[in-house]
Structure 1
């Protein structure tokens, strides 16, 4: 086989550097497939790629390294095997694993001259950002959402890191995650909205909810006949029987997922639900929360009953509209909202997540945006161009590049902007990271400090917390079982009060953060804590985990967005990235948020284009 490479077009010194340097590609999905192909054809020889996901049928329309025969196999491994056909002499190592595994520590990252991110979630992005800062290795970050894309370079001490600026609420998700391996409540909410359309609304093949129906060879009608059947047709055949629907969606489909054992080697396996078993429970036993009904969590039995009632109501509404009628999901329609609340919470329970109130679910539900294969290809090409600058020793020549949906007034789709310096207030890359947190020490549990503040808010993986009380009291230890007895105690039980200081270390990330505690008796309703002061509010909460964080393009042909319809119809055209050249009195700077990297690019808003 002929080896195809670009090295003849490069300077000899650069070509030699490509053949000897080691690079890490994180993610082998939408952008990752295009990127791996590009780095091999450019002349990179020593490549390592890591991805936890397996190939889903829905990936095949845009992740061109994969074929139907690869469904169910490791993305990283198959991507390696495919690109080796382009260049058999390349040395490629594939890891079917999570980049957040402690095995991939700072020493692991120091093995590389360059790291290229092609990720689809912010938690992993935050983690890789911190690992590259700790290892002092250049990182190229990227993301896409529909026709939008962005590439930027992160270099310790020279540029902003990924967490220097606030991020918008994440709004897009990989389709295979929604259907097969949800890990956040929002994944279950999106799945429930898809389910509503599949049962009562306009069917969309890209919003399939059953893991089996995505693969023609696995489509089984649940009476045993081998036959492809839509979710709506199956529901009609049962007369929209709530019990049969329940057992198919929450028992049979989950049991089918469990047969895909590769999914659960490094994930917690889901727990199927059975209708009869949960009828033995009573709703009040599971109710948690106080106040309005919308802010209560009913428990499994309660949501079983709500699911049944909402299915019956929606079926009646469908029949009442006549043959061929469809319902449209509306968060302000009580039966539709009941259905999504019940279905989402039952799925959360199955996948070991904390269930959410109706109020929370209503606020998180969103719209749909597409994923475009061409956008992934453009962004992957730009990543390689920035990589060549870094390997040439020209890091200062690197740029943040935005790919827009429409040309700007200079008829350019690609808009390069100079890299911004590190933020003095960043709680990740500052020389001495420090934050101030306002909370009620008498009501905040140690477990809440660990999970909600340190892990979810500040993106840590395995934090250790020591109280600066002159005794070095260990409040939280990453060693299993060492401080579990503290979890259900309040911070005040450890003499933590207004003005207390906590030293937090995450040894995996080689990251230390000083937390100043401000005690507050009267936080706003439903607010457990606040980050105050100059530190930007950057890290995502679990429930917000993927928004128009332009992800890695690793999505089905359509994906959810929580932006409103009005927001989606407005687009801003960027004219110039240097405000010094423009009279600031006549134009207003704007913050451009495109690819999951919220950048204060000093761009100028010229005009608004109504789509």
Structure 2
């Protein structure tokens, strides 16, 4: 570890030694930020984070090692920083910043607050606390190759909530239920299906065909068409999906036939939907099973990482059956009236969504996806990139130095649709970049 010696003005150097700063978040940006702060000369730092360390953090959150898995991010970050800068005074809180203990008076203890958060609720809370305490806040965030840094000061700048933030994209119910055209539509449908079968039912997340689809203009009194669609199961589609599933004992084959044969045949009776679209093709369990052996890639364990393999229909049927049986066993173990909560990190739940979504993609003539791709979309996962975090952490410290130098008017908002590395150079002057090389320290 080396520290590049720079030419900080004595007044600024003294300020860094005496001022107290708060870092909210000790994850991807937080680890880089803590390192930059202590090696720049900040001596009094408090850091707060609610999370514990997961294996998936280790590829970019360099203050953590495998032996730290399961421990507090804030506490381990403190211990790691003290190993290469033992003179710094760090206080770590394994807690939520939204805890009432961290009130306005708590925030008034600091000259500067730096956000390294990953959720909007906490960002909103810190924004309001800093406005109430009249403390400068440096807000930041990354999304893959994109990133932003914004300085917020009461009476001088917009606050975090002044501009509306984009909401998560939603899809019309009739598209999800009747006419999916993209893999994400099938993945959303599969998540709805999980809740309908194993979790908390929601009328807004129905998965059966939508006969009220205005585009279909289908006549619900056409009983002959309904009979053709499903000779024996006409009433199944009109009752609770969970009640029907329970009545079958969560029989995987019966579930398969309802979801991927009967419901699809039911959709085909809405012929107006298919005048300009390719019609779906129902799947029959026995036909899939009778078609012989699975393709060689579905038998080979050495054809790449398991999560990155794209299974064929035979493999998806197996995965569907196995996941249904596993989830049924979990419900039975939990007792009468139990409900499961979908979690992208729960293997049986993820297997179920992967299988159901891909089977529906196949039916609607889409290219199927690997488990890895389905997990990314189902969990709304945005890739976290170490270099983006490092650039953003450096910019945070640059803006912090300006604030502590009394140069709030020279602070900039770095935010654009271009990758943050490009933003970094387009927003920084040569003087700024030289200052960063001098003042920000790096691991060597």
User: How does the TM-score come out when normalised to structure 2?
Assistant: 0.55
8 Å contact from structure 2 (residues 148, 392) kept in 1? yes
Mapped partners of 2:256, 2:311: distance in 1: 12
Given the superposition, is the C-alpha separation of residues 291 and 136 from structure 1 closer, same or farther in structure 2, using an over 3 Å criterion? closer
Given the superposition, is the C-alpha separation of residues 102 and 65 from structure 1 closer, same or farther in structure 2, using an over 3 Å criterion? same
Given the superposition, is the C-alpha separation of residues 318 and 160 from structure 1 closer, same or farther in structure 2, using an over 3 Å criterion? farther
Mapped partners of 1:60, 1:315: distance in 2: 44
Mapped partners of 1:94, 1:291: distance in 2: 42
In the TM superposition, what is the alpha-carbon distance from 1:401 to its structure 2 partner?
A: 1.1
In the TM superposition, what is the alpha-carbon distance from 1:291 to its structure 2 partner?
A: 11
Match of 1:102? 100
Mapped partners of 1:288, 1:170: distance in 2: 19
Match of 2:74? 76
In the TM superposition, what is the alpha-carbon distance from 1:151 to its structure 2 partner?
A: 0.4
Task: Tell whether 2:76 aligns with 1:65.
Answer: no
In the TM superposition, what is the alpha-carbon distance from 1:93 to its structure 2 partner?
A: 0.3
User: How does the TM-score come out when normalised to structure 1?
Assistant: 0.41
Match of 2:393? 380
8 Å contact from structure 1 (residues 116, 141) kept in 2? yes
Mapped partners of 1:137, 1:382: distance in 2: 19
Task: Tell whether 2:333 aligns with 1:322.
Answer: no
Q: Secondary structure at the match of 2:75?
A: helix
Q: Secondary structure at the match of 2:393?
A: helix
Mapped partners of 2:143, 2:420: distance in 1: 17
1:402 to 411, 415, 420: 415
In the TM superposition, what is the alpha-carbon distance from 1:393 to its structure 2 partner?
A: 0.5
Given the superposition, is the C-alpha separation of residues 166 and 93 from structure 1 closer, same or farther in structure 2, using an over 3 Å criterion? same
Given the superposition, is the C-alpha separation of residues 136 and 367 from structure 1 closer, same or farther in structure 2, using an over 3 Å criterion? closer
- Name the structure with the higher strand share: 1
Point out where structure 1 has 5 or more consecutive residues left out of the alignment: 172-189, 198-245, 251-274, 330-334, 418-611
In the TM superposition, what is the alpha-carbon distance from 1:293 to its structure 2 partner?
A: 6.2
| Structure with max Cα Rg | 2
- Name the structure with the higher helix share: 2
8 Å contact from structure 1 (residues 47, 92) kept in 2? yes
In the TM superposition, what is the alpha-carbon distance from 1:9 to its structure 2 partner?
A: 2.6
Given the superposition, is the C-alpha separation of residues 293 and 105 from structure 1 closer, same or farther in structure 2, using an over 3 Å criterion? same
Mapped partners of 1:315, 1:13: distance in 2: 77
8 Å contact from structure 2 (residues 146, 420) kept in 1? no
Given the superposition, is the C-alpha separation of residues 386 and 406 from structure 1 closer, same or farther in structure 2, using an over 3 Å criterion? closer
1:416 to 409, 422, 427: 427
2:403 to 376, 387, 390: 390
Q: Secondary structure at the match of 1:152?
A: strand
8 Å contact from structure 2 (residues 391, 424) kept in 1? no
Mapped partners of 1:141, 1:311: distance in 2: 48
Alignment of 1:14-413 (within 5 A): 14-170=12-168, 289=203, 298=240, 308=252, 309-310=254-255, 316=285, 322-323=294-295, 324=297, 326-327=310-311, 349-351=339-341, 369-402=382-415, 405=418
In the TM superposition, what is the alpha-carbon distance from 1:300 to its structure 2 partner?
A: 6.2
In the TM superposition, what is the alpha-carbon distance from 1:351 to its structure 2 partner?
A: 5.0
Mapped partners of 1:49, 1:328: distance in 2: 48
Given the superposition, is the C-alpha separation of residues 102 and 400 from structure 1 closer, same or farther in structure 2, using an over 3 Å criterion? same
Mapped partners of 1:43, 1:118: distance in 2: 19
In the TM superposition, what is the alpha-carbon distance from 1:46 to its structure 2 partner?
A: 0.4
Given the superposition, is the C-alpha separation of residues 297 and 75 from structure 1 closer, same or farther in structure 2, using an over 3 Å criterion? farther
Given the superposition, is the C-alpha separation of residues 29 and 169 from structure 1 closer, same or farther in structure 2, using an over 3 Å criterion? same
Mapped partners of 1:327, 1:44: distance in 2: 53
Q: Secondary structure at the match of 1:94?
A: strand
8 Å contact from structure 1 (residues 5, 40) kept in 2? no
